Each structure stands twice: as C-alpha cells, then as structure tokens.
Amino acid sequence: MFRRQRSIPLRGSAAALCNNLSVLHLPVCNLTHFGVVHGPSAQLLSVAPEGVPLAQRQLHAKEGAGVSSPLITQVHWCALPFRVLLVLTSHRGIQMYESDGSVMVYWHALDSRDASPVQAMFARGIASCGHFICVGMWSGRVLVFDIPAKGPNIVLSEELAGHPTSVTDIASEPAQEQDCMADVVTADDSGLLCVWRSGPEFKLLTRIPGFGVPCTSVQLWKGIAAAGYGNGQVRLYETSTGALHVQINAHARAICALDLAPEVGKLLSAAEDTFVHIWKLSKRTESGCTEVEHCHGECVPDTQVCGARFCDPSGSSFAVTGYDLAEILRFSSE
Amino acid sequence: MLYILDQRLRAQNIPGDKARRALRAFSIMSVRALPLLFLNLGGEMLYILDQRLRAQNIPGDKARRDEWTEVDRKRVLHDIILTMFNKSFIEELLKPQELYSKKALRTIYDRLAHASIMKLNQASMDKLYDLMTMALKYQVLLCPRPKDVLLVTFNHLDTIKGLIQDNPALLHLVDETLRQLIEVYGGLSAGEFQLIRQTLLTFFQDLHIRVSLFLKDKVQNSNGRFVLPVSGPVPWGIEVPGLIRMFDNKGEEVRRVEFPHGGNYVTAPKEGSFEVYGDRVLKLGTNMYSVNRPVETHTSGTSKNLASQTQQSIAPNPLAKEELNFLAKLMGGMEIKKTSGPEPGFRLNLFTTDEEEEQAALTRPEELSHEVVNIQATQDQQRNQELARIMGEFEVMDQPRWSASKGDDLLAMMDEL
C-alpha cells in the first residue's frame, strides 16, 4: 500500500516529454536530488527525507548558433565509477555538469551539417556505462563519450550507427555474469531496440525489431531488456537472443517512463493514462524464463504523467511528474 | 523609408528560410506542427464567431442598420474562410518549419478575424483567442493517439465545409487543403505524430483559463485543469490493459495472468477515416457550441505557472523587424476583401453587454494580455505597387485597435533605420 507524501513544488511546470524525471539518491548525506525539464530550462532540487526542498538550481540550454531559445529534451544523472555527472540534452547539443549542476564541464554542439529540413535536430536518451556516457541523436546515432575520473577532459570516443530513426532512450547495467555480455540497450521511434556490449569499441550484439510504435523508455536488468511502448505495452526481451519473454498490456495510453530498482527486481511503468504500475520481475535460471507479477497500481488523477522514478534502491518509494504540473508527487509504502 | 522597406521585402526571396526562422520563439521539436495548430485554432475561431453571430441573428427585414442578419453572418464566415484557406498561404504553412511565436500567431488571428466587415474590440478579441486556445489544448490533450490530432483537424475542416455548403468555390478550396494535409501527414510515423503532439502541448503549457462551458460539462476542473477520464474505449491499436503474457524461449505462451489496472476500459469500436470524406469516429474537434450555450471565460487570477509565460512575451525579440516584414509579406498574399465606400464595419461583442466587455478589458490580469504586433499602415502611399498593396491590406483605422508592444511599431522602427 502506497501513500501520498508531501509534494515538492517546482518553479516551472513539467514539459510534455518522456522520461521527464531524474533522481539521484545520495545515501551518505541522506539527500535526494530531483531533475525536471520545464522547457528552455530544467530545475534541479535537493530534497531532505521528509520531502522538504533544501536547495534548487535552474539550468538553461546553451544557446549556440541561432536566435531562438532551445528546448531541453532531457536531464539525467549519470553515475560513473569515480564521479557523478549531470547530463542535459537539448536542440543545440549536450551539456555535462558536476552533479550539483554548479559547473559545466563539457559542451558538445550538434553538427548543423547533419541538419535536414524535414526534421528538427536534438539530442535525447542518456545513460552511463562504466566510464562511458552514451547520448542518442535525432538522426539515430548514439554518441559515446569517454569520461575521465575527474576534470573536463571528456572525449567523444565513438559514434554508433544502428538506428534508422530518432533515439528515444538508453539503458545500461553493469555486466555481471559471464554469459551476460550485453550491458547497453538503445531504443528509437520505430520501436527498434539495439543491444550492445560496451568497450573501447562498442559491439552490436542483437537487434530487436519494433512493430510500428515508438519505444519511449527502456531498462536493462540481468540481461533482460524491459521496453515501454507508445501502445501502452511493456515488453521484456532476453537480450542475448532477442526472444520475447513477457508482454504486458499495461496501460491505455503511451508509456512515458520506466524505472528499475535493480537490487529487488522491481520495475515501474508510468503512462499518459494517469497510471503508475509497479511490477516484480524474476528470472528463472533453470528454464531461462522471466516472470512478472503486478505489485501495485496508482492513479494520479487528471495528470498526463511524463516522468516517474523510484526514490530508493528498495523500490519502496517513487516520484512522479506530470505535464503542466508544477510539483513533483511522491508516494511511499513505508 | 519606403524604399528601404521595399528593399528588405524584396530581399525576402532569400531567406524564406531565414524569414521563417524570424517568426519562431523556440526551437520546438516538430517541423510539422504549425499547419495543424493554425487550422484547428482557425476552426475554433469560426465555431465561436458563428455561434455569436447566430445568437444575435435578427431577421433581415426587421434588422436595424447596426444589427446582424443571416446574410451578414454568412458573409463574415465566407470572408474569413476565403482568407484562411488562401492557396499560397496554405502552401507556405505546409512547408516544414517550426511553430511561429505566440505573438506572431496571435497577430495572424487578429487579422483573420478582421478579414470581413466585422470588428472586434480588444477585450472581445482576447476572449475569442482564450476560448480558441483552451479548446484546442483540451482536444490535443484528450486525443487518444497522437495521430488522432489529424482526425481533430479533419473534424474542423468537415464542420467548416458544413458552414459553406452553398459555396462550391470555397468548398473546393477546403477540400484542396484536406488533400494536401493527407499528402503531407499520411506517411508520417507514430513517432513523428508523438513529436507533433508534444510540440503542440509545449505551445499550450501553463494555460489554465477556465471556460464555463467546459466547467459545466465537467471536462475542466475549477483549478483550470482538464479531466482525464480513465474509462471508455481505448485508442485504436491499443489493447485493454490488464493482461500479462509470459513465453518460453521457443516463443510458446506458458502463462497468462490478469492484473487490476484501475481503469474501466473497453475495446475501440472502429478507426476513424483519414480520407477526404469519411466517418472520423472521434468527436474532438467538432462544434461544441450552440446558440443556447453562451460561452464565457473566467480569466483566473495570478498563478505562478503563468510566470514562465510572461517571461516569454516580455523578452525583447531581436528579430522583430524581420518578423514584421515576413508577416507583412505573408498576409499581403492573402486575398482580403477590402471594405470600401460607405459600407460600415459591424462590431461584434463576445460578451453579453457592452459594459461587460469594458469591464473585462479593465480587469484582465496583466500576465494574460496577449502581446500583439502593431502594424500600422503608412499614410504616405508612394509609387511602389507591391508595397502599396501589402501595406494597404493592413488595417487603416483611425484609432489603433491593437495594443502596441514595446517598439514593435513598424513606423517607429523605420525611424530607427
């Protein structure tokens, strides 16, 4: 049973984007950071356990060339082995900051030579993998940045080609068992999933075709890719073979966000139908099958949800953002 | 001065691109959203004007000179529709480009509303625009699938055709637009439609004006937010939620489990038609106004959500000059009927009484005043033909009816050159 907790007020309402909430849990100082995109700006909040906001900061998309204010597409914290960086993607490029957003350490401008008259340029889809940060592009390419343990000497290591349409989301997990080679999954507007093994040169392992609907959000857990689609379905695929293991008719509208509490195998799905669902995943090692059990459903009345995240590793609390809503809603089962 | 303006206007052959960019406020994601925004807002405008004019309908023989008749109403609609569906304007609109700024768009509707013998005071024009935008926001938000925004557009066009049944030339113009829309949008993917929908929602972000018709019908809450129902048919192409299916490595289903999804959904009966003629199935975008249901707006008071909107309209637009020139050229291409001679312009009041209209103008919250570009024609009609035609299309009124926004007065800027 989850209960509504105190909401966190935002300076600006959340934009109608997918994956529009990032959460960084800092157990050492018992603080939680939240990041939400409003439009041309994004807001970062530092919050105490009871939901009291202690500090906030607004970041803007770097102007670059051109006159109009660029819109931010996503903001996401990337946990790397020796540091945490905050990555912000927009229509102009990719900005990377120290985790509190105080200092920009890297700026990558989108290449205007690639621009097409029938498509707007943007970067979207952010994930860290080892000492790499992967960022997706409107063109389908995925940029891989090599991040040093400290300092601004970030280098563009590789450009992955694998997607014919705009990248929507990227997920990763630490490569665990020997046969679990895959550690990065990328998704796009056509619903295609690409499974990669990271390294100095990324290797494409599997392609899991779409079915005419965008894959808006993706997660990776024990070699299983959990994908949320524009038709409200959550699908779980075995990444080594690309085999479909589970299909859930989870929502009545497009899914906008998935999140994972990996230690306990909990998956959270949120959609524009105002619902948030929590699922328990389990992998049967003998049969190789995956099982899913529904744990909880929450309705956020009259709210087109656009972002949702677990707020702690045990998955006992989660936060939600909604289009046009100037607050972060919090739920807890403790 | 006119020579310089002329130079700049001729130099527009350039940068149809650059000029288009001048009209933007943000880099918004989809370059296909503008036509849908324009046509749907225009459709709502026609519904509202039609309803107001019908409500004031006085039988022709009994009408005084200052009262609206059926003939007048048809004429106003005819003139607006003719301007709105102007072939070269629609062509320009359908080119891939980003959304115009709120200011530029509002100016276009101001001009459109005045394409005929009808006049609207500032307060009525503000109310009209409020109703138009909130109605479309509601429709876009409630679209079952992103692609259904196209069905909403078709509903608007179908209903517009219903208003001009007796005019084959106009009907043809609207049908042409329908055909062009099908050509441009027919091949777009679900992902591209999702982007279009997100782009439109960004445009409507933070608008919470309460509309009494919506409040009465319980589709809007008293805090200005729309009701999102969790029952009824699911969108076409979506399964009713509630089922988990599990498969083995060979793809055989090994287990299926139901779960409580919380809503009360049923399967979609059928898909709406995306042809020139057909049953759209969806009701969003059809005319919800009728003579017996007068529309009022409550402009809700200050709210911090509006702060971001205010920032946008106050920030000086460095390309205001280019924007104006491009707008001038764009609207100069519209075939606008000129009211010449002794024919009077009729004023339409969107409120119930003149006093109400005056009161509304006085009490309108600061942050909701729509910034409108002031384009005043020069009195000095010089030799240049094209220029004279373009400048002549703009309102030559004795008193300025648009609020002058800071330094955007075309004449003032000419002085600075």
Contact B350, B52 (CB under 8 A): yes
> Which tens digits make up the pLDDT trace of B145-162?
999 999 999 999 999 999
Residue B413 vs residue B119, higher pLDDT: B119
Comparing alpha-carbon positions, the chain A residue that sits nearest to B24 is A68
Tell me whether B59 touches chain A (CB under 8 Å).
no
Tell me whether B267 touches chain A (CB under 8 Å).
no
Helix (H) or strand (E) holding B322: helix B320-332
Which residues in A lie closer than 8 A to residue B201 (C-beta atoms)? 16, 323
Tell me whether B142 touches chain A (CB under 8 Å).
no
| Nearest-CA distance B62 → chain A (Å) | 49
- The helix/strand/coil state of A175 is coil
> Which tens digits make up the pLDDT trace of A190-209?
999 999 999 999 999 999 99
Whole-number pLDDT of residue B411: 32
Contact A86, A75 (CB under 8 A): yes
Q: What is the mean pLDDT of residues A256-267?
A: 97
Residue B96 has pLDDT above 80, yes or no: yes
Q: Which domain holds residue A303?
A: 2-62+70-333
Residue A37 has pLDDT above 90, yes or no: yes
Using the beta-carbon criterion (under 8 Å), do B241 and A274 form an inter-chain contact?
no
| Nearest-CA distance B406 → chain A (Å) | 19
Q: What is the DSSP annotation of B217-286? A: TTSB-TTSPBP--SEEEPPTT-PPS-EEEEE-TTS-EEEEEE---SSEEE----PPP-SSSS-----TTS
| Beta carbons within 10 angstroms of residue A331's beta carbon | 20
Using the beta-carbon criterion (under 8 Å), do A232 and B241 form an inter-chain contact?
yes
Calpha distance A22→A320 (Å, rounded)? 10
- Name, in order, each residue with C-beta under 8 angstroms of B252's C-beta and a sequence gap of 6 or more: none
The reply to whether the predicted model has a pTM over 0.80 is yes
Task: Using the CB atoms, write b or e for B8-40: b if 16+ within 10 Å.
Answer: bbeebeeeeeebbbbbbbbbbbbbbbbbbbbbb
Q: Band of the pLDDT at B73, cuts 50, 70, 90?
A: confident
Residue A328 has pLDDT above 70, yes or no: yes
Q: Band of the pLDDT at B346, cuts 50, 70, 90?
A: confident
Comparing alpha-carbon positions, the chain A residue that sits nearest to B221 is A302
- Name, in order, each residue with C-beta under 8 angstroms of B139's C-beta and a sequence gap of 6 or more: B40, B149, B152, B284, B285
Whole-number pLDDT of residue A327: 97
For residue B281, which amino acid is it?
V
Using the beta-carbon criterion (under 8 Å), do A69 and B318 form an inter-chain contact?
no
Token output for B57:
């309908």
Whole-number pLDDT of residue B317: 42
For testing contact with chain A, the best of B247, B248, B250, B265 (most A CBs within 10 A): B247
Calpha distance B290→B47 (Å, rounded)? 9
Using the beta-carbon criterion (under 8 Å), do A241 and B144 form an inter-chain contact?
no
| Nearest-CA distance A108 → chain B (Å) | 17
Our count of domains for chain A comes to 1
Q: What is the mean pLDDT of residues A68-74?
A: 88
For testing contact with chain B, the best of A324, A325, A327, A329 (most B CBs within 10 A): A324
Size of interface A-B (CB pairs under 8 A): 194
H-type alpha helices, chain A: none
Contact A189, A137 (CB under 8 A): no
Q: What is the mean pLDDT of residues A283-301?
A: 92
Token output for A120:
């707007």
Q: Band of the pLDDT at A136, cuts 50, 70, 90?
A: very high
Contact A74, A19 (CB under 8 A): yes
Tell me whether B261 touches chain A (CB under 8 Å).
yes
Q: At A130, which CATH number?
A: 2.130.10.10
- Of A105-109, B15-19, B27-31, give the lowest mean pLDDT range: B15-19
Q: Band of the pLDDT at B188, cuts 50, 70, 90?
A: very high
Whole-number pLDDT of residue A138: 94
| Beta carbons within 10 angstroms of residue B301's beta carbon | 10
Which residues in B lie closer than 8 A to residue A216 (C-beta atoms)? 194
Sheet holding A233-238, edge to edge: A215-221, A224-229, A233-238, A243-249, B243-247, B253-258
Whole-number pLDDT of residue B366: 62
Whole-number pLDDT of residue A287: 80
- The helix/strand/coil state of B358 is helix
| Beta carbons within 10 angstroms of residue B378's beta carbon | 18
Which residues in A lie closer than 8 A to residue B221 (C-beta atoms)? 302
Q: Band of the pLDDT at B401, cuts 50, 70, 90?
A: very low
Q: Provide Rg for chain A, Cα atoms.
A: 18
Token output for B167:
């005019």
Which residues in A lie closer than 8 A to residue B140 (C-beta atoms)? none
Calpha distance A166→A188 (Å, rounded)? 5
Calpha distance B286→B153 (Å, rounded)? 9
Q: What is the mean pLDDT of residues B61-90?
A: 82
Residue in B144, B251, B308 closest to A12 by CB: B308
Tell me whether B212 touches chain A (CB under 8 Å).
no
Calpha distance B222→B218 (Å, rounded)? 9
Q: What is the mean pLDDT of residues B338-344?
A: 43
Whole-number pLDDT of residue B319: 41
Residue A291 has pLDDT above 60, yes or no: yes
To the nearest whole percent, how much of chain B has pLDDT over 70? 65
Calpha distance A51→A31 (Å, rounded)? 10
Residue A302 vs residue B121, higher pLDDT: A302
Using the beta-carbon criterion (under 8 Å), do A68 and B26 form an inter-chain contact?
yes
Calpha distance B313→A61 (Å, rounded)? 19
Using the beta-carbon criterion (under 8 Å), do B262 and A301 form an inter-chain contact?
no
Residue in A68, A302, A304 closest to B24 by CB: A68
> Which tens digits make up the pLDDT trace of B203-244?
999 999 999 889 999 999 999 999 999 999 999 999 999 999
Q: Band of the pLDDT at B345, cuts 50, 70, 90?
A: low
> Which tens digits make up the pLDDT trace of B265-295?
999 999 999 999 999 999 999 998 865 666 6
Whole-number pLDDT of residue B238: 96
Comparing alpha-carbon positions, the chain B residue that sits nearest to A323 is B205
Whole-number pLDDT of residue B377: 31
> Which tens digits make up the pLDDT trace of B285-322?
999 886 566 666 665 533 333 333 433 333 334 345 55
| Beta carbons within 10 angstroms of residue B350's beta carbon | 25
Which range among A177-186, A282-291, B15-24, B327-336 has the greatest average pLDDT? A282-291
Residue in A11, A189, A253 closest to B191 by CB: A189
Q: Mean pLDDT score of chain A, rounded to an integer?
A: 94
Where do we find the tokens 């004023």?
B347
